[in-house]
Amino acid sequence: MARLLVVVPSDTDPPTRLGEWLSDAGLELDERRLSTGEPLPADLTGHDGLLVLGGPQSSLDSAEVSPELVGVRHLLGQALAADVPTLAICLGAQLLAQVGGGSTRVGADGPEVGATLVAKRDAADADPVFGPLPLSPDVLEWHHDEIDRLPPGSTLLASNPAYPNQAYRVGQHVYGLQFHIETDEPLVRQWAEGDPVGVASSGLDLETVCARAAAVHPDLAEIWAPFAGRFAALVRARAGARAAGG
């Protein structure tokens, strides 16, 4: 079975529904929760893909502030170098941008929080993972930093008016999503209760943020579960190629 290394930088952002979709698509998930001290592997040997989730840490944190992110950056660098199928979400996407030669900063227009839409760019139509998505898919945003410069040579796949770098691909198989697709209702409520600054930036109260997220969660599943299946197909293909080569 194809093995996916799942890096969970914080228990506040577990794989949740995304983990279920990837398992349903035939992947074996090797989950490493950094907040409980679970070690990361030194490299991606023995894994056919990589998933890096989000967390309250900042991509701008030094090694002294967030030492757990040092190993995450190392693995993302390996994935980029070998074009290993990778899905990096929110904090993960920001770290990926940095490792690939782009940059991040504190969001110029403040936090982006809550249910919203992104718009596919023309380049997404030819992408095997993004191509079948609707033109303006529902997403869940929850970030204070932004990706202000994509890695050189990357392909922008989705944008919105708030922050343009919403989804991108580096190489052929490495993807970054600034937004979230993995959430469920309890997770959004946990984030809202723990981030009054982010909620206030939305111009809505906590209950409205949670209610609007709850309203789009069925659409998120309808749109993004098949997306997860298409990403899983890349991981399975790499596993097959490795088996044939070995």
DSSP per position, 93-155: HHHHHHHTT-EEEE-TT--EEEEEE-EE-GGGGG-TTTTTS-SS-EEEEEESEEEEEPPTT-E
182 is catalytic: yes
Mean pLDDT, to the nearest integer, of 49-62? Answer: 97
CA–CA dist 229, 26 (Å, integer): 9
The mean pLDDT of the chain is: 97
Task: Write down the pLDDT at residue 244.
Answer: 85
Confidence of residue 246 (pLDDT cuts 50, 70, 90): low
- pLDDT tens digits along 145-159: 999 999 999 999 999
- What percent of the chain lies above the pLDDT cut of 70? 100
112, 141, 182, 210: the active-site residue: 182
CA–CA dist 87, 175 (Å, integer): 5
90 is catalytic: yes
pTM value > 0.85:
yes
90, 141, 146, 173: the active-site residue: 90
Confidence of residue 162 (pLDDT cuts 50, 70, 90): very high
Q: Are 64 and 40 in contact (CB under 8 A)?
A: no
Cβ neighbours, 10 Å, residue 64:
6
47, 143, 173, 180: the active-site residue: 180
143 is catalytic: no
Task: Write down the pLDDT at residue 75.
Answer: 98
